[in-house]
Amino acid sequence: MLTTLTAYVSKGTQVWDNQALESFFLNDVREGECILYLWQNQHTVVIGRNQNAWNECAVDDLERSGGKLARRLSGGGAVYHDLGNLNFTFLMHSQYYDVKKQSGVILDAVRAMNIDAKMSGRNDLTVDGKKFSGHAYYRTGNRSFHHGTIMLEIDIARLSSFLTVSKPKLEKYSVQSVKSRVINLRDLNPDLNVHCVEEQLMSSFSDVYGLPLDIFPEKRFDHNVIDKERLKFADWDWRYGSRANFPEKSADRFSWGEVEIGYHVQQGALTNVVLYSDGMDADFLSEIPAQLEGCRYTKQALVDRLMMIETRTNQERMILKDIGSLF
């Protein structure tokens, strides 16, 4: 059972520094401990693990304006961060992982600030049908994290100018633009600020779990490890990946997310296979290109090759079936 709650509020606003801290916490979290990490990034677009940077973000405009592009470990879609946004991460050993309870901390905190928030599906928290918090998830070995955004007073004009949301996704939510989907909490309660939301989140963290809260001690930080993690997240190849043009492409939107597969066909077999997706099953989706590499370019051969991938859940089996339908 969980016996220890620990919290840490980042002092910096540089995205790769904050990602490095998140990765450090994931590897450092102890048995029976849950860490709540709160952090902010200045003028940043963060894309999901398997997304195509140029499809999701107006990259050139972002860079000209002094913004940063980051890629996270988890799946899901692209988000815009500025100092009107507060990020949270819950980190723990996987046997204590409970999305509903973790989301309940955010809901409890927002409701304590006189805002009637609700959970919408698996990934969003909303008020009156508009999203103020989007979530994503990651697991490695026996450790997991659940992270997301809380929009207090984010610059929605900048958000909509840097994020290039696909038409199918907008149609899914029956809206004309990303502006129509989101809301700032300060529009509902003008007295809010980042500090008071941080304090309320820590209070709700303790209340929901029924345990006292400790502050993560500085002596536990290993700055050599953190520095190495920062280099990984700042690396151009990690953040941008390939921008190659593929003569063959297949794309569609399914219940679990959008997917696009690009590839070449040489001597009747697939080569240079890439997969882009906002699906939440980031690690599983990232296995698929290597599995298809070198496969004969016939539907049956491709489906048979996909079925060779080990699955653990009905969701993963559905993903393989849907991707097989693209060919």
162-194: pLDDT as tens digits: 998 655 554 444 444 456 689 999 999 999 999
| Beta-carbon contacts of residue 93 (< 8 Å; ≥ 6 apart) | 29, 31, 32, 33, 142, 143, 144
What the block records as the tokens of 317 is 């089996």
Pairing of strands 44-47, 68-71: parallel
- Give domain 4-240's CATH architecture: 2-Layer Sandwich (3.30)
**By the 8 A CB rule, do 138 and 161 touch?**
no
**Considering only CA atoms, which of 150, 212, 200, 162 is closest in space to residue 61?**
162
189: Cα within 13 Å, side-chain hemisphere: 19
Question: What local confidence, expressed as pLDDT, does residue 242 receive?
Answer: 66
**Backbone phi, then psi, for 287, in 5-degree steps?**
-75, -25
Tokens representing residue 55 in the block:
């499809």
How many Å apart are CA 327 and CA 324, to the nearest integer? Answer: 6
Q: What are 231-281's pLDDT values in tens digits? A: 999 999 999 986 667 788 899 999 999 999 999 999 999 999 999 999 999
Instruction: Give the closest residue to 38 by CA, choosing from 89, 91, 92.
Output: 89
List b or e across 132-169, with b for residues whose CB sees 16 or more CB atoms inside 10 angstroms. Answer: bbbbbbbbeeebbbbbbbbbbbbbbebbbebbbbbeeb
Q: What parts of the chain have a pLDDT lower than 70?
A: 122, 165-180, 242-244
User: In whole angstroms, what is the distance from residue 14 CA to residue 69 CA?
Assistant: 11
User: What's the pLDDT at 13?
Assistant: 97
pLDDT at 174: 41
Portions of the chain given CATH number 3.30.390.50: 248-324
- Rounded to a whole number, what is the distance in angstroms from the first to the last CA of the chain? 46
Q: Considering the domain 248-324 in this protein, what is its CATH number?
A: 3.30.390.50
pTM assigned to the model:
0.90
Whole-number CA gyration radius for the chain: 20
Cβ atoms within 10 Å, residue 172: 11
> Residue ranges of the alpha helices (H) in the chain?
15-28, 53-56, 59-64, 99-112, 156-162, 167-172, 194-209, 223-234, 236-240, 282-292, 299-307, 314-324
Q: Residues spanned by CATH 3.30.930.10 within the chain?
A: 4-240
Task: Give the DSSP letter of residue 165.
Answer: -
Secondary structure of residue 258 in the 3-state scheme: strand
Structure tokens at 84: 């009107």
